[in-house]
Structure 1
Amino acid sequence: MFDDLFGDTIGAINRWTPEKNYRKEDGYRDDLIQYLRERLNQESPFSNRKVTIQPESGRSLCDIVVDRSIGIELKKDLKEKAKVDRALGQLHRYWGQYHDIIIVLVGNTDPNKYDDLREQISDFVDRNGDYSFNPKKIRVIDKTPKNRKKRTKTSQNRTQMGSSKKRSKR
């Protein structure tokens, strides 16, 4: 049977709500590890898999690894360009370590820095693209509760503005 661990991991993280607002990234990491262990290892009639979820340690490793193939990097309070730059530097290091990478934004995230991070990741993937049968995937998931609605509206407005600009040039 087809097993989409990356998709299941993305779905679980999207449904995850941290137990509280932690002061440090480690609190979010431990909370997410526990949640993923419960969700990704639930018994079902269709799946009998045992997924390993562990904290990673080391300079060139993500915060969490799922089955030694998916790296999860947490970024708390992404509000400064320096933090975006650091995340991109980490992404460069992780590219060779994991098949797929998920960046999870926790705490308070500046919507402009979120957009900047996503744009730079898109550029990175374009430059380092993996065009194999099973290409590497990178996803950014924002778990910042207060900015979620604002960001959705901002993204929709930009999309609409971008399409009207394209139409007016024709």
Structure 2
Amino acid sequence: MDRKVRGITIMEVLVVMAIIAILASASILGLRNLVQRERLYSAMTQVANDLKEVQFRSMSSNMVWGVRFCANQSQYKIFAVNPANVSGVCPRDANTSCTSDATTQRLVQLPPGVSPEAGFYVLFDRRGYPLDWSCGIGAGNITLRNSYGSRTVIVDRVGRIRYE
């Protein structure tokens, strides 16, 4: 019985390894984009939910609550201002930075790689209406960005909070 045993050549092994390497690199790139997209979406929903919580707290307590974002920082602060301590002027956060101070209730970290495009400041009065730094109508947008793209959380003039 004369049988010829055939094996695979080194060229065939190299071609298969090249195909596997190309498929692996494509899937890793797609996975990285998926992670970045989910981080951005998570940050957007986190910000919208925190804004709704602050709005609810200001309507259910006798305090003015607010949120402050500082540009290019991956955190924002939630703070409360007691109007009884403020006489005749707009109750607002005394500290203009996003660091911990006496009024800060909570510093919130955004997911890694996500940051606001610009500063954002909003207060909510006892009726849930948004106010800006000068206690004018505080409608505004906060745009969050990362390497995947950007998403916007919108606070309109009657206090509705939505995102797109």
TM-score (norm 1): 0.27
* Structure with greater proportional helix content: 1
Larger Rg: 2
**Normalised TM-score (structure 2):** 0.27
Q: Greater relative contact order (Cα 8 A, min sep 6): structure 1 or 2? A: 2
